[in-house]
């Protein structure tokens, strides 16, 4: 079988050849594996870990906000939420339909959810519902395995126990803007909110705290399997302590009711703002929950402007409350002495223009003290004729008018102190003497905020450059204020006139006040917002009374004051927008605010004793 | 007779018991060990559960082992007689798939025969080698070298190739060609033909490229640049390499593979099961398993070399090489050395057809071993 032998030879040779080739191939595979697992093993181990280990942020608990007595103004409550990670949901609509059987989602809410899902990146969780009750929350948790992509979460949400009373100061929280979402990884956490207004915004960095991290093992679709130690806990944000006295603040708000008003009560010695009220208010908690469009529109359209903090943003003609400053300017210039008298017959002529005193029949002969006590306008027209407008502005600015104090509260405005230069720049005209006469009684171009008027009053009362503050743990303005650059004797004179305002014959005298009650000092103001025509003055009924006018044409009622008169502790300013007369409307309220504020001091003294 | 002197005088006919005793138990043992690795890996893929895969894999293996042993003790001449009928039966089944087959994984491949879903293309691989071995058994050396006698084997090869390719199942079609070509080579077909074919395959590849399905084109494209689309088609290979590499020398430990247990790996229980193995047992585990396959191959080739009839030689070596090629391609594929063509790892991957193929093939190889001393006439059919 030679041929068989030949065939066998070929076969066995070729078998060995193929076996050799297979062996080489096997060796190549072995080498490849060696290359992957030994040479590059470390790299692939890292990549395997990167696949499965995710770093998740732990949101820090936000610091709380307290008033001066430790009462909570902003705090955190547990918030039970349902979230959806679109990337992990197999099918969106069936999942939403199933969720809807457990949580009641209305069409508007669903629309908003769908919009968010379509706009955001698919791994960013979308909040389906928040503020769930325990029963719904646990029912949802039971159903979770059948709802891919749905998660539950017990987070924190902000609560403002003070509600409306402090809305303007504390502000509120809201979700970061869509375009800001990549600025911080924290912003991508579901339901994470940042301070959007007020102190919440201003002290965001302080209040927020530092986020922690935890490492979680996830599977290929991103579902968390387990947590891997170590875990870095988040650091709670710092608390913010305000100078505010919440009980006083609440009292003030309650007294103001629905009127459009701004009130500032200050501790003179420290500059601490004890109350800073703006009425009407709004509920900041509504913003935390997500305000409805209807409510938002209502807030925007309300003529009483609830969203504005009138005590710092509202700029009003100060009316007669400016008269102390004008008097001081004249005294410092030596133009008058406290005993200088003028005769008031109810009007004052300058050129062919007649300036009227509020007292139509005139005050007769009076000196400076009487002029302020009775708030005679003619007396101040006489002074103004000799006093340059720039000197008035200079004195006013020493008392804090025209300045902002950057307290952290939103919307602080400068007001307006008109000067010759201001007129030239902004109206391209030269200053007219008639304008000085108007400014001297707090009318015309001059504007001030309630905060500025409170600071002015505190400075008048103390003779120190009092600077207001509302956040007590922020360093800077301690209790040591430099004295004002004003002759103390002149200051005493003005303080005396403010006491006389509250005494018999003064514009803010309270007949019912007990003789033993704390002595107060103050000044009324009534700021006219409309021009009274000659025809109206000469008409039979005379000048129209405030209650005969539409709301927006009525006078602003103002009052500034301090107490106790002999040893001033608190200063107050009250502005009632279109409220009527200073003596009839603003003064009685201001008296109550001062008395209430002093009560707190007394109880503090008792505790010390 | 030179050969009888070479192997010494033997009693050619054996009783059933004698045949059973003379089985190559090394192959049986290695096969059982490989299948055991399969149980373990399927157990791991199911997160440490016997169900649904490991238990059924074990059951199937038990049945297939019986079948293998039964085939082994049947006289080789029966199998030779069945070579052409088996080929025709295979072709018939492929046609059946064409018309009544189940669709799975993007192609018509499966035939539901009640207790299992049969993949006729798998069985075809054996039938092709059998038929070619049968054909060349009757050819002399010079006949084997002639081009004219190549006509029938080419038909035996190309008809099933065309049918399987149409399913479409490029991977299995290529495996059929590879197994058949290896057998032709062993039978003595001139080497220059293979060289020419190997050179010619490059222009051919470009020629058939436009006719490939998009998914097949994508597989080839992502093979050349797997990182180009890490979340799409290249995802599988990227994740597979991460799993292989992160296993290191000794692996992450049984049931500790993160890539597999967290579902980053694709097709874990079928084509990518080797990846799970390497992730959990590392380079050491991979070497042991590849070594076991190597041992089985070596046995198969030795059986061929030790066989006294040409049919047995070609059958044993052809099948052994074809099956080992499976292992090569599967492992090369998961390592990113070859395109992902959907070739399972025999005995370890989940799936009845590939296991059945392996067990039938090694049943035949064992039969060759048992009947190695049998001489068969060139036309020698049916005679026992």
Neighboring chain A residues of B313 at a CB cutoff of 8 Å: 8, 11
CA distance B379 to B363: 23
- Cβ–Cβ contact A225 with B under 8 A: yes
Of all helices (H) and strands (E), which one includes residue B361? helix B352-370
Please judge whether B242 and A48 are an interchain contact, meaning their C-beta atoms are less than 8 angstroms apart.
Answer: yes
Residue A506: which of A371, A390, A381, A344 has the closest Cα? A371
pLDDT reading at B380 higher than 80: no
Q: A364-368 long-range CB contacts below 8 Å, 24 or more apart?
A: A365/A341, A366/A341, A366/A342, A367/A338, A367/A339, A367/A340, A367/A341, A368/A327, A368/A331, A368/A336, A368/A337, A368/A338, A368/A339, A368/A340, A368/A493, A368/A497
Query: Cα angle vertex A389, ends A386, A390, to 5°?
Result: 120
Question: What DSSP letter does each residue of A332-349 carry, written as one string?
Answer: HHTS--TT--EEE-SEEE
Nearest by CB: B242 against A18, A26, A47: A47
Neighboring chain A residues of B3 at a CB cutoff of 8 Å: 1, 4-5, 8
pLDDT reading at B106 higher than 90: no
Nearest by CB: B245 against A30, A37, A51: A37
Contact in structure between A285 and A160 (CB atoms under 8 Å): yes
Please judge whether A26 and B246 are an interchain contact, meaning their C-beta atoms are less than 8 angstroms apart.
Answer: no
Active site (catalytic) residues of A = 320
Nearest by CB: A15 against B239, B264, B304: B304
Contact in structure between A314 and A350 (CB atoms under 8 Å): no
Where residue B284 falls among pLDDT bands split at 50, 70, 90? very high
Rg (CA), chain B: 21
Q: For residue A57, give how far its alpha carbon lies from the nearest alpha carbon of chain B (Å).
A: 22
3-state SS class at A601: helix
Q: What is the mean pLDDT of residues B224-241?
A: 69
Handedness of CA A485, A489, A492, A494 (dihedral sign): negative
pLDDT reading at B24 higher than 60: yes
Q: For residue A111, give how far its alpha carbon lies from the nearest alpha carbon of chain B (Å).
A: 31
H, E, C per residue of B143-182: HHHCCHHHHHHHHHHHHHHHHHHHCCCHHHHHHHHHHHHH
Please judge whether A18 and B258 are an interchain contact, meaning their C-beta atoms are less than 8 angstroms apart.
Answer: no
Interacting residues of A289 by C-beta distance below 8 A, sequence separation 6+: A130, A131
Higher per-residue pLDDT: A511 or B247: B247
pLDDT at position A265 is 95
pLDDT at position A228 is 82
pLDDT at position B233 is 56
pLDDT at position B113 is 61
Where residue B8 falls among pLDDT bands split at 50, 70, 90? very low
Q: Range with the lowest mean pLDDT among A88-102, B167-181, B259-273, B292-306?
A: A88-102
CA distance B293 to A493: 112
**Residue A151: φ, ψ to 5°:** -130, 155
pLDDT reading at B108 higher than 60: no
Neighboring chain A residues of B380 at a CB cutoff of 8 Å: none
Question: What DSSP letter does each residue of B303-324 carry, written as one string?
Answer: HHHT-SSHHHHHHHHHHHHHHH
- Cβ–Cβ contact A51 with B under 8 A: yes
Q: Which residue has the tokens 């509120």?
A: A172
Contact in structure between B246 and B259 (CB atoms under 8 Å): yes
CA distance A331 to A489: 10
Please judge whether B141 and A43 are an interchain contact, meaning their C-beta atoms are less than 8 angstroms apart.
Answer: no
Handedness of CA A390, A394, A396, A400 (dihedral sign): positive
Contact in structure between A563 and A519 (CB atoms under 8 Å): yes
pLDDT at position B4 is 41
CA torsion B251→B254→B258→B259, rounded to 10°? 80
CA distance A139 to A134: 8
Contact in structure between A546 and A580 (CB atoms under 8 Å): yes
Where residue B231 falls among pLDDT bands split at 50, 70, 90? low
pLDDT at position B112 is 67
CA torsion A314→A319→A323→A324, rounded to 10°? -30
**Residue A231: φ, ψ to 5°:** -115, 135
Q: In this structure, what token pair is assigned to residue A200?
A: 């919440």
Q: In this structure, what token pair is assigned to residue A280?
A: 């009407």
Mean pLDDT by 10 residues, chain A (609 residues): 74 92 92 92 89 84 91 88 80 82 81 80 76 85 81 82 86 83 79 86 90 84 75 90 92 89 93 92 80 85 88 93 95 93 92 89 92 93 93 95 90 92 90 92 93 96 93 64 92 94 86 85 88 75 77 88 92 90 84 90 77
Interacting residues of A354 by C-beta distance below 8 A, sequence separation 6+: A347, A348
Q: What is the DSSP letter of B269?
A: T
- Cβ–Cβ contact A547 with B under 8 A: no
Burial of B320-358, coded b for 16+ CB within 10 Å and e otherwise, reads bbbbbbbbbbbbbbbbbebbbbbbbbbbbbbbbbbbbbb
Q: How many CB pairs under 8 A join A and B?
A: 140
Write the pLDDT tens digit of every residue in B342-353.
Answer: 788 999 998 888
The residue ranges of DSSP E strands in A85-180, in sequence order, are 126-129, 150-159, 173-174
pLDDT reading at B5 higher than 50: no
> Closest residue of B to A32, CA-based?
B335
pLDDT at position B384 is 38
Q: Which residue has the tokens 């210039």?
A: A333
> Closest residue of A to B189, CA-based?
A10
- In this prediction, the answer to ipTM > 0.85 reads yes
pLDDT at position A473 is 67
The count of residues in chain A is 609
pLDDT at position A443 is 92
């Amino acid at each position: 079988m030679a041929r068989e032998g030949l065939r066998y030879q070929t076969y066995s040779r070729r078998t060995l050849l193929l076996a050799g080739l297979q062996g080489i191939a096997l060796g190549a595979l072995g080498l490849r594996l060696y290359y992957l697992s030994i040479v590059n093993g470390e790299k692939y181990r890292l990549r395997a870990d990167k696949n499965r280990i995710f770093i998740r942020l732990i949101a820090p608990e936000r610091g709380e906000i307290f008033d001066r007595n430790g009462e909570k103004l902003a705090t955190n409550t547990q918030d039970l939420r349902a979230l959806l990670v679109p990337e992990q949901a197999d099918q969106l609509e069936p999942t939403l339909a199933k969720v809807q059987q457990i949580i009641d989602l209305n069409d508007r809410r669903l629309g908003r959810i769908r919009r968010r899902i379509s706009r955001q990146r698919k791994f960013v969780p979308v909040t389906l519902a928040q503020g769930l009750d325990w029963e719904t929350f646990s029912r949802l948790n039971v159903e979770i395995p059948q709802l891919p992509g749905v998660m539950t979460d017990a987070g924190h949400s902000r609560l403002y126990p003070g509600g409306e009373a402090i809305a303007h100061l504390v502000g509120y929280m809201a979700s970061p803007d869509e375009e800001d979402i990549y600025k911080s990884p924290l912003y991508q956490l579901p339901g994470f909110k940042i301070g959007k207004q007020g102190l919440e915004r201003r002290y965001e960095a302080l209040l927020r705290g530092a986020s922690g991290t935890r490492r979680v093992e996830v599977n290929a679709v991103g579902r968390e399997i387990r947590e891997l130690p170590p875990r870095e806990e988040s650091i709670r944000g710092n608390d913010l302590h305000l100078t505010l006295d919440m009980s006083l603040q609440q009292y003030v708000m309650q007294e103001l009711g629905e009127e459009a008003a701004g009130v500032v009560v200050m501790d003179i010695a420290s500059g601490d703002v004890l109350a800073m009220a703006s009425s009407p208010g709004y509920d900041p908690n509504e913003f935390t929950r997500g305000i409805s469009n209807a409510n938002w529109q209502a807030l925007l359209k309300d003529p009483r402007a609830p969203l504005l903090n009138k005590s710092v943003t509202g700029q009003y003609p100060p009316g007669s409350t400016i008269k102390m400053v004008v008097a001081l300017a004249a005294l410092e210039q030596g133009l008058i002495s406290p005993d200088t008298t003028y005769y008031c017959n109810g009007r004052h002529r300058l050129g062919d223009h007649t300036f009227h005193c509020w007292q139509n029949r005139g005050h007769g002969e009076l000196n400076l003290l009487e002029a302020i006590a009775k708030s005679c306008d003619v007396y101040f027209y006489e002074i103004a004729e000799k006093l340059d407008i720039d000197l008035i502005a200079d004195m006013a600015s020493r008392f804090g008018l025209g300045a902002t104090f950057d307290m952290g509260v939103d919307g602080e405005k400068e007001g307006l102190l008109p000067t010759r230069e201001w007129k030239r720049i902004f109206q391209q005209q030269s200053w007219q003497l008639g304008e000085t006469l108007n400014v001297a009684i707090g009318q015309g171009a001059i504007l001030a905020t309630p905060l500025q008027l409170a600071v002015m009053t505190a400075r008048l009362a103390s003779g120190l450059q009092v600077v207001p503050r509302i956040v007590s743990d922020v360093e800077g303005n301690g209790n040591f204020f430099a004295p004002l650059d004003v002759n103390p004797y002149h200051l005493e004179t003005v303080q005396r006139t403010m006491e006389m305002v509250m005494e018999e014959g003064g514009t803010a005298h309270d007949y019912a006040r007990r003789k033993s009650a704390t002595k107060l000092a103050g000044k009324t103001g009534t700021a006219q917002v409309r021009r009274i025509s000659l025809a109206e003055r000469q008409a039979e009924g005379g000048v129209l009374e405030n209650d005969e006018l539409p709301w927006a044409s009525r006078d602003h009622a103002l009052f500034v004051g301090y107490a106790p008169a002999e040893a001033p502790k608190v200063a107050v300013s009250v502005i009632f927008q279109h409220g009527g007369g200073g003596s009839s409307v603003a003064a009685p309220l201001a008296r109550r605010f001062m008395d209430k504020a002093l009560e707190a001091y007394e109880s503090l003294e008792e505790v010390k004793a | 007779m030179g050969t009888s002197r070479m192997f010494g005088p033997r009693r050619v006919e054996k009783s059933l018991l004698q045949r059973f005793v003379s089985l190559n138990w090394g192959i049986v043992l290695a096969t059982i060990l490989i299948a055991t690795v399969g149980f373990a890996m399927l157990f791991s893929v199911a997160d440490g559960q016997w169900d649904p895969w490991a238990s059924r894999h074990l059951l199937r293996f038990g049945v297939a082992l019986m079948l293998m042993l039964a085939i082994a003790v049947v006289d080789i001449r029966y199998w030779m007689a069945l070579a052409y009928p088996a080929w025709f039966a295979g072709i018939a089944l492929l046609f059946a798939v064409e018309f009544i087959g189940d669709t799975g994984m993007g192609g018509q491949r499966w035939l539901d025969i009640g207790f299992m879903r049969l993949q006729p293309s798998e069985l075809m691989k054996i039938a092709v080698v059998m038929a070619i071995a049968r054909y060349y058994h009757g050819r002399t050396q010079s006949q084997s070298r002639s081009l004219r006698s190549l006509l029938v084997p080419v038909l035996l090869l190309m008809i099933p190739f065309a049918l399987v390719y149409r399913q479409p199942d490029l991977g299995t079609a290529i495996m059929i060609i590879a197994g058949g070509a290896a057998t032709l080579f062993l039978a003595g077909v001139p080497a220059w033909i293979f060289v020419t074919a190997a050179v010619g395959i490059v222009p051919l590849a470009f020629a058939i490229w436009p006719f490939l399905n998009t998914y097949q084109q994508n597989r080839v494209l992502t093979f050349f640049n797997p990182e180009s689309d890490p979340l799409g088609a290249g995802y599988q290979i990227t994740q597979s390499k991460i799993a292989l590499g992160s296993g290191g020398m000794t692996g992450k430990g049984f049931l500790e593979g993160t890539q597999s247990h967290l579902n980053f790996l694709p097709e874990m229980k079928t084509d990518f099961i080797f990846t799970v193995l390497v992730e959990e047992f590392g380079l050491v585990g991979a070497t042991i398993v590849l070594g076991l396959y190597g041992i089985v191959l070596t046995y198969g080739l030795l059986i061929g070399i030790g066989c006294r009839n040409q049919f047995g030689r070609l059958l044993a070596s052809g099948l052994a090489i074809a099956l080992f090629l499976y292992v090569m391609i599967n492992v090369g594929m998961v390592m990113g050395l070859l395109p992902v063509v959907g070739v399972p790892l025999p005995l370890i991957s989940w799936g009845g057809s590939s296991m059945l193929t392996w067990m039938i093939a090694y049943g035949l190889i064992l039969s060759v071993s048992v009947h190695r001393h049998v001489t068969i006439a060139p036309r020698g059919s049916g005679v026992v």
